[in-house]
Structure formats: C-alpha cells, structure tokens
Amino acid sequence: MNETLYKTSSPEEEKSECCEIFLEPLPGSGTRVYTFSEDHGWWDESTKKFVHQVTRINTTEEGVTYEEAHAMYLKAKTKLAQSGFIHSFAPDPYSYKSHKYEFIQTRHAG
C-alpha cells in the first residue's frame, strides 16, 4: 500500500514537493511483519536536483502487526494533510488513469 501526497492538485514530477507513504510486508521468523516508511521529496533550487529524505520504521524486530503498521500509515496521512499535503495520488491498477486521486478534507481548530 502506498500513496503520494502533494500540496497541489496538479503536481510536476520531480519538481513538486511531496510525501510518499508506504506500508509493506516483510518476511520474518515464519510470521508476517510490516514496515512503514515515509519519503519526503522536494526540489532544491541551489543544486537543481530533486532531494529525497526517507524515514523508515523497520518493524521486523518489534514484530508490528498489519493493524499496528496500518495505524501508523493513517496517522502519518492525517498529519501530512494537516500540514497542507491534501492531494493524494495512489496507484490504481483497475483504472486507465493509473492513479486514483483523493482530496483529503481536514478539520482546522478554531
């Protein structure tokens, strides 16, 4: 499971700031355990390159279940939406568009 979140509904590949979140199974000790990771990417004007900063929570040692990893995924998605990443694009193998778009509604305090 993965999706890419942007602050714009019409992102430019390798130019627009984005956060990609992943939930992936890892084989481990005869049972399935999961890892959650987040990739923050942005254009660095000074180097003229797209920069990636990956944060991976390797849950093999902790034995995190799918439910626990999925909760991490949803928490990260909510936090990102609250900081402006409200346009989600997720792979959709059943669509001719190849990506499913979702506008994420957030609640603001006040």
> pLDDT tens across 41-96, in order?
999 999 999 999 988 776 656 667 888 889 999 999 999 999 999 999 998 877 77
Handedness of CA 59, 29, 32, 88 (dihedral sign): positive
Comparing 106 with 101, which gets the higher pLDDT?
Answer: 101
Q: Is the pLDDT of residue 40 over 60?
A: yes
More confident residue, 34 or 82: 82
The more confidently predicted of residues 105 and 31 is 105
pTM for the full model? 0.83
End-to-end CA, the chain: 33
What dihedral angle (degrees, nearest 10) is formed by the CA atoms of 52, 91, 3, 62?
Answer: -90
Q: Which two tokens stand for residue 19?
A: 């956060």
